[in-house]
Structure 1
């Protein structure tokens, strides 16, 4: 029987990478990324996500392990021999060229005829909604518009894979959220595989088909945003993906998300299938539509965090004694770590 599973867009096997003595960045990365996925490499600074992206792009070589793009082993191939385009945070646009010429430049170097490269560059600008400003220069654009030009340049040659290294990091919050929607729209429209690096958990959850969470040079967990948020495989993933409280119960670590917790007055009698913890409000953070409360447990032990709709939160103040309440099914036992 033949295997009918499609070939992954990216397959990494046993990748290791070190920089000098004692500076091991990757410790045996195994990963498969499907064709047409929006796949995110997520982790804190120094976790190995950007190094992994650079190895896929050919900007660095692994100490050991193999890299396959589709059917091809590209482990030792230079970047220009990989069907990959990379989009960096600084955009790297030529300031003296028009937008059209910026996008067409790579095709010009490859010897594509003028009419064809103009047609393809204009089509790429139309895709990112900048076709009406093709004759402007990058200095005449906003940060968000320059980001769109860099994306159009990455798309114009229709690569099998686009690598994006924190491309939204320089944008303000409102524009970053708008561009998250735009990037996802374009990725779905083109069907090109996107591999995206970020340390922003909310960005990863909102954009990705799947996410790999990195920590200290290893992948802690790979899954859909819902998998990682609702069923994390470790305390690290639980804490890194969203807010959480980690409680100890019968020798197990229990994950509790703050949106599952509500506050009641001292002396509250729980209903069947409810769990409670008495505590004191140690911190109040007003976040607009919701307010976050941090509770200290008895004897100042670790407590829980609750996120409450602000319209229901006005009676609670720092220093008050309260009861945190949550349904039993909201408490998720974390798997025992297999080291």
Structure 2
């Protein structure tokens, strides 16, 4: 078998990207990033952190003030979107209301001069991939929000681009449908092998879908890693606080330590700890029932520090607010944050 010349070449390579608008401070302050072929890569961060601007630069909808963008080894920094092997899926879907689903999916091919029979077959195959081929003659107004989202995905998939950019595509869906579509998107990405670059501010969505995640904050990348690496070994207090619930306390050596709520128990006062345990006396400030789990905030005695515990609801039934308790955890679960 001949060597593939593109083997080992990143699908996306960003070097020193800087972007500002007018005389304002830079939105991006020097982004360096590599995304590998076939990855489901997520850019995660709060509003204004620079993740969507980075996506738009990759797609060619914006041009950087400085830096370089390479797709599969080719410098595309100054190229317009139509000259990049990229399709973008936006949150509003942008479907044509007067066209059938099949015609919506085939529209780009029609503009490119693909013969009618070929584009109809490719559109049908793309709709079948998202389980909508049986209703291909319907109009977008006859569909649910989740179905319209699938049509937009089929349109992005139909030309089999090397890269698909997704800008918070599930933001308009209700929670149940959103979770169903998370599973569907990941299934399709694995099935096609296309590189997905996904933007979201939803931490749970990023953790459940991604191969790797870049956490953005104020125009810089705080950390890149797998969901497990970011959750269990955050590189900064920002990543620790942003990615999942956490309690950050001062450790014995003065360093900040991270506690995840699922590692904390709540016991009655007088509990005798083992040598490997730490106890935190306090008062239950708030109890939130979340179905299978119950979140419990324990306010420390005198110092106002809070520790959060996430407990199985069946074991938390007898807890009451304003009750004196101790939060308990083992020493090995306290992760010291970098100074």
TM-score normalised over the length of structure 1: 0.97
Matched, 1:69 2:109: no
Q: Unaligned 5+ residue runs, structure 2?
A: none
Aligned to 1:133: 135
C-alpha separation in 2, matches of 1:38 and 1:231 = 21
Deviations 1:155-190 (A, max 9, x none): 000000000000000000000000000000000000
C-alpha separation in 2, matches of 1:242 and 1:101 = 42
Alignment of 1:79-94 (within 5 A): 79-94=81-96
> Which of 222, 225, 244 in structure 1 is aligned with 2:224?
222
> Which of 255, 260, 264 in structure 2 is aligned with 1:261?
264
Aligned to 2:190: 188
C-alpha separation in 1, matches of 2:303 and 2:126 = 58
Give the superposed CA RMSD.
Answer: 1.1
C-alpha separation in 2, matches of 1:316 and 1:130 = 49
> Which of 42, 52, 55 in structure 2 is aligned with 1:53?
55
Deviation at 1:4, TM superposition (A): 9.7
> Which of 268, 282, 307 in structure 1 is aligned with 2:285?
282
Aligned to 1:294: 297
Q: Is the 8 A contact 2:40 2:196 kept in 1?
A: yes
Distance 1:5 1:152, change over 3 A: closer
Aligned to 1:251: 254
Structure 1 residue ranges, 4+ long, deviating more than 4 angstroms after superposition:
none
Aligned to 2:12: 10
C-alpha separation in 2, matches of 1:104 and 1:5 = 31
SS of the counterpart of 1:24? coil
Aligned to 1:34: 36
Deviation at 1:238, TM superposition (A): 0.5
Matched, 1:327 2:330: yes
C-alpha separation in 2, matches of 1:70 and 1:4 = 7
Aligned to 1:270: 273
C-alpha separation in 1, matches of 2:143 and 2:198 = 24
Deviation at 1:21, TM superposition (A): 2.1
TM-score normalised over the length of structure 2: 0.97
Distance 1:4 1:93, change over 3 A: closer
C-alpha separation in 2, matches of 1:92 and 1:224 = 32
> Which of 116, 119, 130 in structure 2 is aligned with 1:117?
119
Deviation at 1:315, TM superposition (A): 1.3
Aligned to 1:207: 209
Deviation at 1:286, TM superposition (A): 0.7
C-alpha separation in 1, matches of 2:299 and 2:231 = 24
Deviations 1:218-246 (A, max 9, x none): 00000000000001001000011100000
Matched, 1:154 2:156: yes
C-alpha separation in 2, matches of 1:295 and 1:207 = 32
SS of the counterpart of 1:96? coil
Q: Is the 8 A contact 2:298 2:307 kept in 1?
A: yes
Size of the aligned set, in residue pairs, is 334
Deviation at 1:5, TM superposition (A): 6.3
Aligned to 1:304: 307
> Which of 174, 177, 193 in structure 1 is aligned with 2:176?
174
SS of the counterpart of 2:102? helix
